[in-house]
Structures are given as C-alpha cells and as structure tokens.
Structure 1
Amino acid sequence: MTSITDRGWTLHYTIGTILASPVTAGDLVPMPAGQGDLIISGGRAPVRSKDTGAVFVHDPADNQSRKREIRPGALGTVWISAAGGWSELTGGKGAANPERASTPAQGSGSRPASSMTFVELTEDAFLARFKPVPNPLSNDAGFDFGDGGCLFDAYGPELDFVRGQPLEKVWTVIEGDDGLEITDGMHVVNRLGYLVTEQPCPTDTMVSVPLDM
C-alpha cells in the first residue's frame, strides 16, 4: 500500500509522543462512541501556520458515503514535514515527575506551541484520579486493579462497548519499545486493548502512564 504524502509531508500514526508507522491509503480506523469504522483515503498537509492539515475518510458501510475531512489528531495521526516538524501536538509523555506537567521546548524541527498540557502519571496516581471500571463483558479480562479485570478487547462486543463510551473516558494500553503504557484516547497502532474510566480526561490534557509490569 502507498503511504499518504502531500507536498513533502507524510501522514503518520502516533503512540503518545512517539512517531509510529506511516498511514497508508485504505487503512481502517475504529471510532469511539458507536461511530463505526472509517477508511482513510488520503489527506491534505498543512498549508499555513496553525493549520493541522486534514485526513480524508469515508464510511465503508455506506456505498454512497462521500469523502469528509477529519483533524489528524482525532484519528491518532499527525503530518510530519521533510524537516521533521509536527503539524500538531498529539499527546503522550511529559515531565519525568509523576505529577508534573510540561510543554515541549520550541526550536528547529520541534512541535508547534499548543495550549495542551502533558502529564505523566504513576499507575497509582492514574488509578486514584481516573478510576478504571471492570469489564462487564468478560470474567477473565486482564488488568485487574483490585475490583476485576478492566481491559477491553479491540474487537467484537467489547470494542462495541468501548465505542459507546465518551471518548474522554477511553484509554488505550499500548506496547511500545519501552514497555507498556496507558495513554488517553482511542488508538490503533500497537494497542493491547482499551480501558474505560469513571472520570474523564480533561480535553486540554494529554496523559501518559508508563507501566512497570
């Protein structure tokens, strides 16, 4: 499959603040809150300052579905320029202090300024603040934090359940080069499954929870 490029920019998936594989035309992306799947068909790279660019998608279940544009960050993607610049902040690890937020430094090839706050939490801080809920569809779900397994599969009825939740309460368990991590939002690349929490992640905050398992 062909990677999606436009005017020297390449569309990539992200895992928190880690750049992952390029997006290819025809990729299927599951959406939260029961919105169904979307197929990525192309995109538009940024053309001016503070422009995040766009991703072109359509509904595979609707033969008459017209192409529509979605902000890259809503799909866990980002445009990367030939010089290595990011079109927008996408979320993930911040300061080393478990409760301290940080903003990426600016400079050549760095990501643009943003009002988003980046927070890295310990596992205990994440549990106390957001409170994962047990998976009601499985008796042997993983990630038992004391009240029953909380991990939801990324397919079938469990995925349907996750899609029906508010996106602010959905988290992805990701397996990266540095181990397991919980990150806010619904992501596809390297996912082990999803968590749902009682408390929502603030819309202006991106959270990373490295796991020592």
Structure 2
Amino acid sequence: MIIEPNPTQPITMSFETWIDTFKPIRNPLAPEGNHDGFAFEIIDEHMTILRQTSKDRVWTLVSGDDGESLFLIEGLHLVNREGYMITERPWTEGQGGYEILVYGPDEDDGEPAEGVASDKETM
C-alpha cells in the first residue's frame, strides 16, 4: 500500500529522521557551531552561502509560537527565524511542506508542537 502525502498537511518527522533523510552539511564557517555545526547564522557571510545554495536544499530554524519549541521548515523564511541549515538532499515542493520538531515541550509524546509562523523570502 502506498500512502500519498496530503497536499494540505505538512510532512512531520523527528529531527533524527530528518538528518538521516536529508543529510545536513556542516557550516564551513562554523563547523563546531550550533546544532552540531549544521546551523548557519543570520550574518552576512553565512547569508551569502545560503543565497548561493539551491533553494530546495535550504531549511529555516524557526521558533514556535509557544516560545519553547524549535522547528525546521523548508525554504528561506524570515518570520521567527533562529537560523538556517543546508542539506545534501533537496526537499520536494507541493507536498504541504515539512515541519520538523528539533526540540520542544511536545517532543516526548511524538506530536509536533503547534504554531509555526512563516514568511518565505524569494531567493
């Protein structure tokens, strides 16, 4: 049986599954930095790398509306951004998006925390 993604609901998965699936790359400017060296910060040198990367390999770390959760969502976003990550494998458009819980109060029950605001920047 093949389960088709729902185009109106985001695909959710654990951060560990996301790492195995999309293969994040280390930030060459901060290989020992945040999130095991995978995070790109909101500074000029890092943003230059992000803008030179194919948009389907860029992910945004965003804070949840609860103020305690951190999510990864596909693309380069501005609202609630905490940083960015780049992956070896691209994400796919038209599937309702992705919502990866990096950490938060609902992490232990398997349900993603609610309320991810976003404002995708045009690259």
Q: Shift in Å at residue 121 of structure 1?
A: 1.2
1:121 and 1:209 in contact (8 A); partners too: yes
Matches within 5 A, 1:149-188: 149-178=37-66, 179-188=69-78
1:100 and 1:119 in contact (8 A); partners too: no
Structure 2 unmatched ranges of 5 or more: 105-123
Q: Shift in Å at residue 103 of structure 1?
A: 4.5
User: In the alignment, which residue of structure 1 is the partner of 2:86?
Assistant: 196
- Compute the RMSD of aligned alpha carbons: 2.0
User: Share of identical aligned residues, percent?
Assistant: 27
Q: Shift in Å at residue 212 of structure 1?
A: 2.1
Q: TM-score, normalised by structure 2?
A: 0.72
Q: Given the alignment, which residue of 18, 21, 43 partners 1:129? A: 21
Q: Using a 3 Å threshold, how does the CA distance of structure 1 residues 154 and 203 change in structure 2: closer, same or farther?
A: same
Greater percentage in strand? 1
Higher relative contact order (CA 8 A, sep 6+): 2
Q: Shift in Å at residue 192 of structure 1?
A: 0.7
How many aligned residue pairs are there? 99
| 1:102 and 2:6 matched | yes
CA distance in 2, matches of 1:212, 1:100: 27
Q: Shift in Å at residue 137 of structure 1?
A: 0.8
Greater percentage in helix? 2
Q: Shift in Å at residue 118 of structure 1?
A: 2.7
Structure 1 unmatched ranges of 5 or more: 1-98, 105-116
Partner of 2:49: helix, strand, or coil? helix
Q: TM-score, normalised by structure 1?
A: 0.43
Residues 150-204 of structure 1, C-alpha deviations (whole Å, 9 max, x = no match): 1001121111001100000000000122410000000011111100000000122
User: In the alignment, which residue of structure 1 is the partner of 2:107?
Assistant: none
Residues 17-64 of structure 1, C-alpha deviations (whole Å, 9 max, x = no match): xxxxxxxxxxxxxxxxxxxxxxxxxxxxxxxxxxxxxxxxxxxxxxxx
CA distance in 2, matches of 1:120, 1:195: 17
Partner of 1:121: helix, strand, or coil? strand
Find runs of 4+ consecutive structure 1 residues off by over 6 angstroms. Answer: none
2:7 and 2:94 in contact (8 A); partners too: no
CA distance in 1, matches of 2:7, 2:54: 26
Over alpha carbons, which structure has the higher Rg? 1
